């Protein structure tokens, strides 16, 4: 294995490597592992003090993955699959973090990393064909290939609410939960935000808090996880069938082995339709969005799915007004990611929990003592911000990335991210994005999506080396055509009817462009292979 010459290293204090990988989440760790295996001198840089990425930062109570644990795990090493035991259907944040720590130790990855350093800038030198990467700790690294495994949901959105900085109590963000934990016992807690992070944390916070006030601007669809420990039998079965399960995941649209109901909805009677919805509801969580084929394309099917879920929610929530307030009326079901909860709707039956509908009674200001809405006041000890992320592009545009012809990434993506195959950006040679915009990313299984992209990109790097090319860059026309295709496919679905973070709609001033590729994981892989078979069509190489 190669060890990068870590600081102070070279005489001028600059770390000189072949590959820099930004990030130590699932994608970054895998990129470092594979790059080192292929003989590249590799440096990883990570802002967190340890590995984990999303699972390092999002330590809020109740944090879990909404993809089943046996699917949301590395597939590249069958030995790793056999030796690791997932204890529950949906893994908790601590369990996923220990899995990533185990992977980091098992493949000896930590020694390639600098932790606790945030990359703030990167600049490409056209003459030397190298990136210079700078961190906030003063590290300067030069590399030929820059892999940005910076995460799709890693740039937290701190809302611009008047008076927020005046609040005298504690403000905690779900996306940057204190590492030592935060105890809400006997405190008056306010939660702003009812996306997945809010919906997962609210039931757990409610158990300990003296009072919990939920400030909801937009309700979301949520389906219970029906989480439970995996039995020994299930664990054995998972180990026995991992290969088939992975094959199905790579051949599927969303990177998991689950398929929609085998018959089209219009060929089944009402009884069978209800049973199909009920079965999917009981499977739990986000999978409900794909009970029937075309559920997020055909509004009539979507309406039937929506009605089924509404009935379920109304049966749980005792106060009909609260139930009404908790039900979305602004988007087709599944066109924002369906949340996966444990006792979310039941929590609103508790005496110590109150829902504030900000659409009826908006926040006017935050004061030293709490939240003042137009009609009421709420005294609080703690404010929890579950207010989401500048998704898919934020982590990239918050760094000062300068291409060789003068433009920054922020400028290049001002009207929406433009990429070829979601991995390369015209004007930014030798820079690659992993699970970035223009790729299936958040609409697939992030772990398998990262593996596929990293392997494909390292093949591209090897190809360049073998052919004596120092640079590779996405062609502008190929990137335009791919980005138009990403847009066109999204426009054929109901997803464009939702003001979601998929479309940048949660961030003021952000371009409204549907960012992930919704054509399916399998289709995307085929497109990547097609380009490779044609000698990496869509790229221009230079010496
Ligand atoms: O963020 P979100 P998230 N005043 O953007 C509200 C993944 N994830 O962190 O919709 C008042 O969904 C905002 O309201 P509105 C998953 O892919 C997965 O919860 O803008 N409210 C919204 O309610 C998920 O989709 C898991 O009107 C304000 C909330 O904050 C993605 O991450 C767990 C506001 C933000 O919701 C993001 O989820 C967690 C303001 N000024 C996350 N600003 C699992 O695997 C924002 N809001 C289960």
Q: From CA 528, how far away is CA 425, in angstroms rounded?
A: 15
Q: From CA 40, how far away is CA 461, in angstroms rounded?
A: 10
| 195 Cα: distance to centroid of ligand 1 (angstroms) | 4
Q: From CA 47, how far away is CA 135, in angstroms rounded?
A: 9
Residues 488, 513: contact at Cβ < 8 Å?
no
Is the pTM above the cut of 0.85? yes
What phi, psi does 17 have (nearest 5°)?
-140, 175
pLDDT of residue 12: 67
Q: How confident is the model at residue 13 (pLDDT cuts 50, 70, 90)?
A: confident
Please name the residue whose Cα sits nearest to atom 48 of ligand 1.
Answer: 66
pLDDT higher than threshold 80 for residue 345: yes
Closest to 143 (Cα-Cα) out of 38, 15, 29, 36? 15
Closest to 100 (Cα-Cα) out of 147, 62, 149? 149
Ligand 1 pocket (Cβ < 6 Å) reads 64-66, 153, 159, 161, 192-198, 200, 217-218, 337, 340, 358, 386-389, 442, 501, 506
Q: From CA 77, how far away is CA 436, in angstroms rounded?
A: 24
Q: Tell me the CB-side half-sphere exposure of residue 191, using CA atoms within 13 A.
A: 29
pLDDT higher than threshold 70 for residue 104: yes
What phi, psi does 255 have (nearest 5°)?
75, 20
pLDDT higher than threshold 90 for residue 5: no
pLDDT higher than threshold 90 for residue 423: yes
| 170 Cα: distance to centroid of ligand 1 (angstroms) | 20
Atom of ligand 1 nearest to the CA of 196: 19
Average pLDDT score over residue span 96-111: 98
| 501 Cα: distance to centroid of ligand 1 (angstroms) | 8
Other beta carbons within 10 angstroms of residue 410's beta carbon come to 14
What domains, with CATH codes, occur in the chain? 14-51+109-155+391-535 (3.50.50.60), 196-385 (no CATH)
Q: Tell me the CB-side half-sphere exposure of residue 377, using CA atoms within 13 A.
A: 5
pLDDT digits (tens, 9 = 90+) for 263-283: 999 999 999 999 999 999 999
Angle at 448 between CA 444 and CA 449, to 5 degrees: 55
Q: How confident is the model at residue 9 (pLDDT cuts 50, 70, 90)?
A: very low
Residues 490, 518: contact at Cβ < 8 Å?
yes
pLDDT digits (tens, 9 = 90+) for 355-398: 999 999 999 999 999 999 999 999 999 999 999 999 999 999 99
The rounded mean pLDDT for the chain is 96
Question: Residue 259 has which token pair?
Answer: 């398929």
Q: From CA 274, how far away is CA 388, in angstroms rounded?
A: 34
**Helices 26-37, 93-106: crossing angle, 10 deg rounding:** 10
pLDDT of residue 10: 53
Q: From CA 395, how far away is CA 155, in angstroms rounded?
A: 5
pLDDT of residue 8: 33
Q: Who contacts 82 (Cβ-Cβ below 8 Å, separation ≥6)? A: 239, 242
Q: From CA 121, how far away is CA 299, in angstroms rounded?
A: 45
Residue to mutate, 195, 218, 286, 503, ligand 1, most ligand atoms under 8 Å from C-beta? 195
């Amino acid at each position: 294995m190669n060890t990068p010459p870590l600081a102070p290293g070279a005489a001028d204090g600059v770390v000189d490597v072949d590959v820099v990988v930004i990030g130590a989440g699932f994608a970054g760790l895998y990129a470092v592992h594979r790059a080192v295996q292929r003989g590249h001198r590799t440096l990883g840089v990570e802002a967190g003090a340890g590995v984990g990425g999303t699972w390092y930062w999002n330590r809020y109570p109740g944090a879990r993955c909404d993809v089943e644990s046996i699917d949301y795990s590395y597939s590249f090493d069958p030995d790793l699959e056999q030796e690791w035991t997932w204890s529950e259907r949906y893994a908790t944040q601590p369990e996923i973090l220990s899995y990533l720590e185990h992977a980091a130790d098992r493949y000896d990855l930590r020694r390639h990393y600098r932790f606790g350093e945030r990359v703030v800038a990167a600049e490409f030198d056209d003459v030397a064909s190298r990136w210079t990467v700078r961190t906030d700790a003063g590290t300067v690294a030069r590399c030929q290939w820059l892999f940005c495994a910076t995460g799709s949901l890693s740039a937290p959105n701190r809302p611009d609410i008047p008076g927020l900085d005046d609040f005298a109590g504690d403000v905690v963000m779900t996306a940057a939960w204190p590492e030592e934990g935060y105890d809400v016992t006997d405190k008056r807690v306010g939660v702003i935000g009812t996306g997945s992070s809010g919906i997962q944390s609210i039931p757990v916070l409610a158990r300990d808090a003296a009072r919990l006030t939920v400030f909801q601007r937009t309700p979301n669809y949520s389906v219970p996880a029906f989480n439970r420990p995996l039995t020994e039998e299930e664990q054995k079965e998972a180990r026995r069938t991992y290969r088939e399960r992975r094959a199905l995941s790579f051949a599927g649209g969303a990177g998991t082995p689950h398929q929609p109901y085998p018959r089209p909805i219009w060929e089944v009677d009402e009884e069978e339709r209800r049973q199909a919805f009920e079965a999917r509801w009981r499977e739990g969580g986000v999978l409900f969005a794909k009970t029937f084929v075309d559920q997020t394309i055909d509004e009539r099917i979507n309406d039937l799915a929506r009605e089924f879920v509404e009935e379920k929610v109304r049966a749980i929530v005792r106060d009909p007004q609260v139930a009404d307030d908790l039900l979305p009326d602004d988007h087709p079901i599944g066109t924002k990611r369906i949340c996966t909860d444990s006792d979310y709707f039941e929590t609103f039956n508790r005496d110590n929990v109150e829902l504030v509908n900000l659409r009826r009674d908006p926040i006017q200001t935050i004061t030293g003592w709490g939240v003042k809405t137009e009609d009421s006041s709420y005294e609080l000890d703690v404010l929890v911000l579950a207010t989401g992320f500048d998704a898919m592009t934020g982590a990239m545009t918050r760094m000062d990335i300068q291409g060789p012809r003068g433009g920054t990434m922020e400028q290049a993506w001002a009207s929406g991210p433009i990429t070829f195959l979601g991995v390369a950006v015209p004007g930014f040679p030798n820079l690659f994005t992993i699970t970035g915009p223009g790729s299936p990313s958040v609409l697939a299984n992030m772990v398998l999506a990262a593996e596929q992209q990293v392997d494909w990109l390292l093949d591209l790097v090897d190809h360049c080396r073998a052919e004596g090319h120092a640079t590779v860059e996405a062609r502008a026309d190929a990137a335009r055509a791919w980005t138009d295709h990403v847009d066109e496919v999204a426009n054929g679905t109901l997803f464009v009817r939702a003001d979601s973070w998929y479309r940048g709609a949660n961030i003021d001033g952000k371009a409204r462009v549907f960012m992930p590729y919704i054509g399916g994981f399998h289709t995307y892989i085929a497109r990547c292979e097609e380009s490779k078979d044609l000698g990496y069509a869509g790229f221009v190489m230079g010496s």
